[in-house]
């Protein structure tokens, strides 16, 4: 199921002739579906009207032979819900959510609930966000190991705290602590990793996440 590119004319209008040729080539190749608005499909820069045209053109062209999926690139839950609602109205068969879920895994249940009921769910509680952050960090360490895990955790924790009131200082401390944890893991003379310092730093990361939990609670108060 390919994520097709979006074609433009020299005047920045949609090149629907080349777009249709691309869709036709994909269908002839035997694809099981078409994804619109992926990274190379200019998802983050397409206007609402351009998305509408692309979805409706594709739905009409494939004529029910394969599903048409639209990528949700909006960065807020509210905007993502609106985009999902429009995609449904325009005839899309399904949604693909990538960047919109960064630091916000609850977006899946929120969009699904809204499309099913027309009602918005309340945002997750600070306690739930805090719990997910801690579990996510533990899983990153398990998957990547302590050395790489603390590096990967940096961006994810930043995403969890993004746009939350009074979280800027906590984010700075988290990034600084995680950097220390990553930098202090060095190879010893015998070729083994110095684990003691790293584990101590990882404990500091855990303590910083506790502080992040307090920030979440305070911002929701």
Q: Is the pLDDT of residue 201 over 80?
A: no
Residues 6+ apart with CB under 8 A from 30: none
User: In the prediction, which pLDDT does 207 show?
Assistant: 54
Helix ranges (H only) for 3-125 are 16-28, 48-62, 77-90, 107-117
Q: How far apart are CA 176 and CA 184, in angstroms?
A: 12
Beta-bridge partners for 14: 8
Nearest to 164 by CA among 221, 126, 110, 216: 216
Does the predicted TM-score (pTM) go above 0.85?
no
User: In the prediction, which pLDDT does 216 show?
Assistant: 58
Exposed/middle/buried for residue 67 (C-beta within 10 Å: 0-12, 13-18, 19+) = middle
Q: Is the pLDDT of residue 19 over 60?
A: yes
Q: How far apart are CA 152 and CA 173, in angstroms?
A: 16
Put residue 12 in one of left, alpha, beta given phi > 0 → left and psi -120 to 50 → alpha.
left
SS3 label, residue 14: strand
DSSP codes, 172-217: HHHHHHHHHHHHT--B-TTS-B-HHHHHHHHHHHHHHHHHHHHHHH
User: In the prediction, which pLDDT does 20 show?
Assistant: 94
Name the token pair of 177.
Answer: 């602590």
Q: How far apart are CA 97 and CA 106, in angstroms?
A: 12
Question: Regarding predicted confidence, which is higher, 190 or 61?
Answer: 61
Q: Is the pLDDT of residue 102 over 80?
A: yes
């Amino acid at each position: 199921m390919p994520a097709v590119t979006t074609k433009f004319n020299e005047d920045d209008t949609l090149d629907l002739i080349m777009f249709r040729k691309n869709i036709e080539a994909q269908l002839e190749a035997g694809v099981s579906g078409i994804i619109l608005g992926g990274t190379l499909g200019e998802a983050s820069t397409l206007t609402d009207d351009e998305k509408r045209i692309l979805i409706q053109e594709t739905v009409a062209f494939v004529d029910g032979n394969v599903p048409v999926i639209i990528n949700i690139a909006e960065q807020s839950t509210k905007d993502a819900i609106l985009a999902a609602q429009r995609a449904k109205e325009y005839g899309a068969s399904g949604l693909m959510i990538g960047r919109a879920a960064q630091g916000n895994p609850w977006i899946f249940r929120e969009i699904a609930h809204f499309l099913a009921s027309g009602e918005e769910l309340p945002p997750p509680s600070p306690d739930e966000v805090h719990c997910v952050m801690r579990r996510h960090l533990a899983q990153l360490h398990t998957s990547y190991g302590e050395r790489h895990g603390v590096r990967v955790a940096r961006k994810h924790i930043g995403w969890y705290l993004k746009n939350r009131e009074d979280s800027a200082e906590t984010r700075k401390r988290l990034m600084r602590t995680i950097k220390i944890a990553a930098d202090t893991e060095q190879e010893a003379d015998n070729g083994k990793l110095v684990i003691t310092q790293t584990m101590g730093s990882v404990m500091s990361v855990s303590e910083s996440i506790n502080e992040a939990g307090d920030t979440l609670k305070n911002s929701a108060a």
